[in-house]
Amino acid sequence: MWLARPIDAPVSPVFFLSNGIATAMHVTEERALGGDYRTPNPCYDDGRGLPFLRYVGKLPSTSSIWNVFTGQEIDMMTFTLANHRQTVRALLERVAAPAEWINEIPV
C-alpha cells in the first residue's frame, strides 16, 4: 500500500492533514456515489494520487468540488495529493504554524 505505515507508528496531525482530504457533500451527491466516498480511496494504492478520480462519472453534472482555502474549483481528473499538500503547506504558513510542521508536509 502506497500510504502504508507500521501499525505502531504514531500518526502526527501533520501526517493526517497532508494525506487526508475532507469533502462535504449534498445528500443527492451522497446518493449518486452509493457509498463509494466512505470506502478506502484507491488513490493511495495506485500511485497516481488522484483522490477525486473515483467520483468522475458518478456525481451529477451540476456537482463541483471546491478548494475552500483558495476558492478555486478542483478538476477531479487532475487534482493530486501533491496539489492538496501544497494547499496544506500554504494554510500552515498563513496561520504561522511551527516550521517543523510545515517541513513535515511532503512536497
Of 46 and 92, more confident: 92
The answer to whether position 8 is within a domain reads: no
**Identity (one letter) of the amino acid at 80?**
T
Q: Is 68 domain-assigned?
A: yes
Could you tell me if residue 92 is inside a domain?
Answer: yes
Whether residue 6 lies inside any domain: the answer is no
Taking residues 35-57, what's their average pLDDT? 75
pTM check: above 0.85: no
Q: Which pLDDT band, with edges at 50, 70 and 90, does 52 fall under?
A: confident
Percentage of residues in the chain having pLDDT higher than 90: 19
> Which CA distances in Å does 10 have to 16, 24, 55?
11, 27, 31
Give pLDDT, residue 44.
67
Does any domain span residue 16? no
pLDDT in tens, 55-105: 888 888 888 888 988 999 999 899 998 999 999 999 999 999 999 888 888
Q: Domain containing 29: what range?
A: 25-104
Confidence of residue 16 (pLDDT cuts 50, 70, 90): confident
Residue 57 falls within a domain, yes or no? yes
**What total number of domains does the chain contain?**
1
**Percent of the chain residues past pLDDT 70, beyond the cut:** 79
List own/partner pairs for 15-18 with CB under 8 A and 24 or more apart: 15/104, 17/88, 17/105, 18/84, 18/85, 18/88, 18/104, 18/105, 18/106
Asked if the structure places residue 18 within a domain, the reply is no
pLDDT of residue 1: 40
Residue 76 has φ and ψ, to the nearest 5°, of: -60, -25
Q: Is residue 73 part of a domain?
A: yes
